[in-house]
């Protein structure tokens, strides 16, 4: 998958949740990606350099990645 597109999608989701406050935005971003992204898209963003993401998206991805690894 085109990693630049995945980054942009994740950041876009995060930006639209940002107004709800940091913690809520991280949770909502993570939930959104979990609900709507195909496994190869998730795998692509998990494998990417987190520094390339906005802070909210970065935390959301980290949370999802941890959950996936724990499962």
Partner 1 sequence: MGYERQKDFGTPESTSDQQVTLTIDGRKVTVPAGTTVMRAASESGGSIPKLCATDNLKQFGSCRLCLVEIEGARGTPASCTTPVADGMVVRTETPRLQKLRKGVMELYISDHPLDCLTCSANNDCELQDQAANVGLRDVRYGYDGANHMGQDVDVSNPYFDFAADKCIVCSRCVRACDEVQGTFALTVDSRGFASKISAGQRGDDFLSSECVSCGACVQACPTSALMEKSVKELGKPERAVVTTCAYCGVGCAFRAEMKGEQLVRMVPWKDGKANHGHSCVKGRFAWGYANHADRITRPMIREKITDPWREVSWDEAISYAAGKIQDIKARHGARALGGITSSRCTNEETFLVQKLVRAGFGANNVDTCARVCHSPTGYGLSTTFGTSAGTQDFDSVEDSDVIILIGANPTDAHPVFGSRMKQRLREGAKIIVIDPRRIDLVRSPHINAAHHLALQPGTNVAILTALAHVIVTEGLADEAFIKERCDWDEYQDWARFVAQEKHSPEFLEAVTRVPAQTVREAARLFATGGNGAIYYGLGVTEHAQGSSTVMAIANLAMATGNIGRRGVGVNPLRGQNNVQGACDMGSFPHELSGYRHISGGEVRKLFEDDWGVSLDPEPGLRIPNMLDAALDGSFRAIYIQGEDILQSDPDTHHVAAGLAAMECVIVHDLFLNETANYAHVFLPGSTFLEKAGTFTNAERRIQPVRKVMEPANGYQDWEVTQLLANAIGCGWNYTHASEILAEISRLTPTFAGVTWERVINGEQLQWPVNEKAPQGSPIMHVDGFVRGKGKFVVTEYVPTDEKTGPRFPLLLTTGRILSQYNVGAQTRRTGNVMWHDQDVLEIHPTDAENRGLKTGDYARLASRAGETTLRVLVTDRVAPGVVYTTFHHPDTQANVVTTDNSDWATNCPEYKVTAVQVTPSNGPSEWQEEYADLTAMARRISGGEMEPAE
Contact set with partner 1 (CB under 8 A): 1-2, 5, 8-9, 12-13, 15-16, 18-20, 32, 35-41
Shortest Å, Cβ 13 to partner 1: 5
Of the two residues 15 and 27, which places its CB atom closer to partner 1 in the complex? 15
- DSSP 8-state class, residue 1: -
CA nearest neighbour of 41 among 25, 61, 24, 15? 61
Of the two residues 19 and 47, which places its CB atom closer to partner 1 in the complex? 19
Full DSSP string of 23-65: HHHHHHHHHHHHHH--HHHHHHHHTS-GGGS-HHHHHHHHHHH
Of the two residues 12 and 66, which places its CB atom closer to partner 1 in the complex? 12
Shortest Å, Cβ 65 to partner 1: 15
């Amino acid at each position: 998958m085109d990693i630049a597109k995945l980054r942009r999608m994740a950041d876009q989701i995060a930006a639209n949740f940002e107004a709800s406050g940091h913690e809520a935005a991280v949770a909502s971003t993570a939930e959104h990606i979990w609900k709507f992204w195909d496994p190869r898209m998730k795998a692509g963003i998990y494998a990417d350099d987190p520094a390339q993401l906005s802070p909210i998206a970065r935390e959301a991805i980290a949370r999802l990645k941890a959950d996936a690894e724990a499962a």
